[in-house]
Structure 1
Amino acid sequence: MKWIYIIAGIALYVKMLVMPNPMAELVDLSIVETIVQDTGVPNAVSGIIFRNRLYDTIFEVVVFTLAVMGVRFLLANEQPLTIIYQVNDQPSIVLARLGATIAALVSIELAIRGHLSPGGGFAAGVAGGTAIGLIAITSPSEWMQKIYQRWQAATWEKISVLIFIILAVITLIGLELPYGEMGTLLSGGIMPLLNILVAIKVALGSWAVILIFIRYRGLL
């Protein structure tokens, strides 16, 4: 059987070497300009993520949600650590919290203006998760857990996913908000809302994973 796989692999490489790749003939047409005109936002990447390949983006959000649920499930039966060592020296705490403040501001900027400039919901969520992680390594885990429960972060995470899916499905059906004026904050139709929802989802999901790993594994 392995000889069949070897022959098939050789045939595939021969095909790649002998047969040329088909190329579409584009005459005076810029793909980036076409996407920008079609989506109404200067950031063509956001246009692709939240319009041209919105199906993929929906499942990316769902996969991230499943990953968070998987972490909770796999570590649910383990015993929490009795002693969790935190970063205690004052210079490191000051630097970590300064970095957390900067990361949080960057997260807000990327979420709000991700359709106008480089950035977007996923990058904003990563920046927000980084800010939370820097606070978590310099603060008592019990305090972080109380804040997580007080603000019902797990519930808001689920709500953000649900709203994102609903808005994405409405967009795929063909119902869209007005694009507005190109380059302004309130432009791009539904894209700014999708950016913000993805940022909230990724940041809160990262918060949950960070708390779980610190509780059961300590500072990695």
Structure 2
Amino acid sequence: MKWVYIAAGIALFVKMLLIPNPEGDSSHISSIVEAVVQDSGVPNAVTAIILRNRLFDTIFEVVVFTIAVMGAHFLLANERPFCAIYQFTDQPSIVMARLGATIAALVGIELAIRGHLSPGGGFAAGVAGGTAIGLVAITSSTEWMQAIYKRWNAATWEKVSVLVFIVLSVVTLAGVELPHGELGALFSGGVIPLLNILVAVKVALGSWAVILVFIHYRGLL
């Protein structure tokens, strides 16, 4: 049987080398992108598709991430907390990690605010924010991180961001849209920038919750 797999692999390799891919109609593709941009009012066609053309799918993507965060809490709740949590203690590593966290946080803010104008968006911004939180977590006290999480009511804001996102999405799917504004301006695209920011907040705070749970029950380093 393995010879069949080897022959199939060789055939695929030869096909990629000798048989060129057929050229697509680039003008047709360009017209589709232009139509998406004009309908949404934002230059980033990918964000327009995610938060407008495929908004129904995006709602469930956000809900799935929320269920994943809840599942991490539920599945680890019966485990014994990790006794020894080792973290970076040498000063160069701490400085580099916190510098990286600062850069990641600034990138996340930029992607959330301007994701409808340039490559980026809510999910990428949330991942950048979660990366920043993770870098801080490996250099800081777990108790301190948990205290900040509770002080700022991060869990509540996470749930609020999900609810507001769903409400705005349902209103948009019902046909009610904000003015698109001027194409390329910061305040343009109707509700798309707001949805971007809400997704970024949700993903970043959800990542924070998961990081704290795993540190508490599984340790860090």
Q: Give, as a single letter, the amino acid of the residue that structure 1 aligns with 2:171.
A: I
Q: Give, as a single letter, the amino acid of the residue that structure 2 aligns with 1:213.
A: F
Aligned to 1:70: 71
Deviations 1:68-89 (A, max 9, x none): 0000000001111122111111
Asked if 1:44 is matched to 2:41, the reply is: no
* Distance in 2 (alpha carbons) for counterparts of 1:109 and 1:29: 27
Asked if 1:183 is matched to 2:196, the reply is: no
* Distance in 1 (alpha carbons) for counterparts of 2:105 and 2:64: 24
Q: 1:80 to 1:187 in 2, by over 3 A?
A: same
Q: Give, as a single letter, the amino acid of the residue that structure 2 aligns with 1:155.
A: T
Aligned to 1:142: 143
Aligned to 1:33: 34
Aligned to 1:153: 154
* Distance in 2 (alpha carbons) for counterparts of 1:93 and 1:170: 45
Could you tell which deviates more after superposition, 93-102 or 81-90?
81-90
Q: Give, as a single letter, the amino acid of the residue that structure 1 aligns with 2:74.
A: F
Deviations 1:152-201 (A, max 9, x none): 10000000000000000000000000000000000000000000000000
Name the TM-score, length of structure 2 as normaliser. Answer: 0.87
Aligned to 1:200: 201
Residue 28 of structure 1 deviates from its aligned partner by 8.9
* Distance in 2 (alpha carbons) for counterparts of 1:212 and 1:28: 45
* Distance in 1 (alpha carbons) for counterparts of 2:95 and 2:217: 26
SS of 1:184's equivalent in the other structure is coil
Q: Give, as a single letter, the amino acid of the residue that structure 1 aligns with 2:145.
A: M
Q: Give, as a single letter, the amino acid of the residue that structure 2 aligns with 1:149.
A: K
Asked if 1:132 is matched to 2:133, the reply is: yes
Could you tell which deviates more after superposition, 138-147 or 29-38?
29-38
Residue 27 of structure 1 deviates from its aligned partner by 6.0
The gaps in structure 1 that reach 5 residues or longer are: 1-22
Deviations 1:78-121 (A, max 9, x none): 11112211111100000000000000000000000000000000
Aligned to 1:107: 108
Aligned to 2:174: 173
Q: Give, as a single letter, the amino acid of the residue that structure 2 aligns with 1:66.
A: I
Give the superposed CA RMSD: 1.5
Moved over 2 A (4+): 26-29
* Distance in 2 (alpha carbons) for counterparts of 1:136 and 1:81: 15
Residue 145 of structure 1 deviates from its aligned partner by 0.3
Aligned residues: 197
SS of 1:30's equivalent in the other structure is helix
Name the TM-score, length of structure 1 as normaliser. Answer: 0.87
* Distance in 1 (alpha carbons) for counterparts of 2:150 and 2:28: 57
* Distance in 2 (alpha carbons) for counterparts of 1:175 and 1:39: 13
* Distance in 2 (alpha carbons) for counterparts of 1:28 and 1:205: 36
Residue 30 of structure 1 deviates from its aligned partner by 1.4
The gaps in structure 2 that reach 5 residues or longer are: 1-23
